[in-house]
Structure 1
Amino acid sequence: GRADKPGRALLQTWTPEHPVLMALAAGDRDAFVEAEMGEREAASLPPHGRLAAIILSSENAIAVEKVARDLAEAIPNAERLEVYGPADAPLALVRGRRRKRLLVRADRDVNLQAFLRAWLARVKVPASVRLTVDVDPYSFL
């Protein structure tokens, strides 16, 4: 890595007083990890909860929008679980493919795989639309 090499990082934010940003600016890795873990615990995010990203992509914007809407309408009832979206993925266009995303946040003891399997089985996804599932993703792009 670059830990031993001098460098400079520029951050642009609306919340410079946020504990995570304060720790990063101070170069205090331990404070950063502590602040981040506290935020994750409060929000039931990994490793204190489960998260899944459903990413849809297609060269056909209408097709990807329809599948995203169909998925949103087909969400099964479940306790201790929330679904957010659909919304444009942070990188909404990649290599000519339009992208939509839904996020699922669940308590740690929820059988997330079973929920996802039952949910996705309710919707027919045409061959022109690619659907990927990323459980406890490392990146949100």
Structure 2
Amino acid sequence: MKLFTDAKGKTWTIEVNVATLQRVKGLTGVDLTKLIDAQGETFSKVVEDVFVMFDVLTALVQPQLDTQGMTPEQFGESLDETSLEGAVHALIEAVIDFFQEGKRMLLKRAFTKVKTAAERRQSTTIDKAMQAVESPEFDQAIENVLQSMSGN
């Protein structure tokens, strides 16, 4: 079991077992056992598409939603980018924990490397974006748009 917290401070549990795997596949068509498959497309399908990720999360936490009398829409209203990132990490860790020890150890090492590389890439991307926003070219582009809007 892994936990993540939504934007409203509520903690959700992700548990991966045969029943949850079947529920997710039945409701979304996503086979979570292939989430960490290097040759598969499941990882990018789930992680890069916020709507697929939401459907998978909703299927995973459906019993919790039912217990609390919440709709999927109410659940979605409690998620933002930060909480989705936490949910993705919890999901991946829960899927890894589903497997037997030998495979689990290998997958954990691989996930740690992927996470580190992604953090470096995100940092580099943010740095580049900040440099672009702070550049004289960006200021000039804004000025050009404002002038064209005012008709001058």
Same-fold call, TM cutoff 0.5: no
Higher Rg of the two aligned structures:
2
- TM-score normalized by the length of structure 2: 0.23
More helix by share: 2
Larger RCO: 1 or 2 (CA < 8 Å, sep 6+): 1
More strand by share: 1
